[in-house]
Amino acid sequence: MSRRALVAKTYKLYLGGAFVRSESGRTDPIDGVNVPRGSRKDVRDAVKAARGAFGGWSGKTAYNRGQVLYRFAEALESRSGEFGSAAEVGSAVDLLVHYAGWTDKIPVVMGGINPVAAPYLSFSSPEPTGVVAVLAPDEPALLGLIREIAPALAAGNTVVAVVSRVSPLPCLDLGEVAGVSDFPGGVLNLLSGRLDELVAPLCGHRDVNAIIDATGDSALAALIDEHAAETVKRVSRPLPDTDSLTRLEALVELKTAWHPIGS
């Protein structure tokens, strides 16, 4: 009996809850594999999917978002042997569990009643910013990506992430994990490709509300800031050891309401 031929894996982008080839059909050879090279059209499709999913995701209860993030952690743990470094995968799983626990604590920690010396009550409550563009670090590929997308998702935002350019394969595999984790299509979108082609259409897109730049590239920072300034986007550049609250604060907006009391 002849041995059957193995089916070669074709890596794809993860957009709108589906696995798609780059619209351009281009690829880059990395580690002996053809990795899809995302295009401007792929960026537009990803942002459109993220915007369409934002209302449903931000409207879910904090408990439900926490359950989905916990399921994400479970699914990643179940496939941990496929992602290389056990220590890196373990840290990524722990981060997801950590932020799953944050979802219902964000309003308590960041919101509250404001003291006002007048016959009315003022209170503030946090709301998600919207569509967040994430430029993930090159290393560590998987942990670096999780470190930036987890707080954005926990806060109720939707995400379009450009994954590691050096080691994109585990990040694209993460799309398969997200696909079985109860995320509605469009909540998390993963693009691979070249930053010199993707930064302008992503960071300059008018439907992107905030940018997380974790590339550590000072030359690229000026270009990102220039595109962000056109539509007054918030840009954050968290260091790897930035605490959870600081990361979350950068991805929410405080809404303040005034209510008359007394006479």
pLDDT (0 to 100) of residue 46? 98
**Helix (H/G/I), strand (E/B), else coil: 160:** strand
In the chain, the percentage of residues whose pLDDT exceeds 90 is 87
Determine the length of the chain.
263
Q: Predicted confidence band at 259 (pLDDT cuts at 50, 70, 90)? A: confident
pLDDT (0 to 100) of residue 263? 55
Closest by CA position to 225, among listed 251, 207, 204: 204
CATH superfamily of 13-260: Aldehyde Dehydrogenase; Chain A, domain 1 (3.40.605.10)
pLDDT, one tens digit per residue, over 238-254 is 999 999 999 999 999 99
pLDDT (0 to 100) of residue 99? 98
CA gap 124, 47 in Å, rounded: 29
Q: Is pLDDT at 211 greater than 80 in this prediction?
A: yes
**Helix (H/G/I), strand (E/B), else coil: 187:** coil
Average pLDDT for 157-166: 98
pLDDT (0 to 100) of residue 218? 92
pLDDT (0 to 100) of residue 260? 81
Q: Is pLDDT at 1 greater than 70 in this prediction?
A: no
pLDDT, one tens digit per residue, over 32-77 is 999 999 999 999 999 999 999 999 999 999 999 999 999 999 999 9
Give CA separation, 188 vs 2, 117, 152, in Å: 42, 44, 10
Residue carrying structure tokens 């290389």? 84
Average pLDDT for 120-136: 92
Q: Is pLDDT at 111 greater than 80 in this prediction?
A: yes
pLDDT, one tens digit per residue, over 214-226 is 999 999 999 999 9
pLDDT (0 to 100) of residue 258? 77
Domain spans of the chain, in order of start: 13-260
CA gap 23, 38 in Å, rounded: 7
The percent helix, strand, coil of the chain (3-state, each to 5) is 45, 20, 35
In the chain, the percentage of residues whose pLDDT exceeds 70 is 98
DSSP secondary structure of 244-259: HHHHHHTTEEEEEEEE
CA gap 37, 62 in Å, rounded: 35
Q: Predicted confidence band at 138 (pLDDT cuts at 50, 70, 90)? A: very high
pLDDT, one tens digit per residue, over 18-34 is 999 999 999 999 989 99
Per DSSP, 82 falls in state: G
pLDDT (0 to 100) of residue 119? 79
Q: Is pLDDT at 115 greater than 80 in this prediction?
A: no
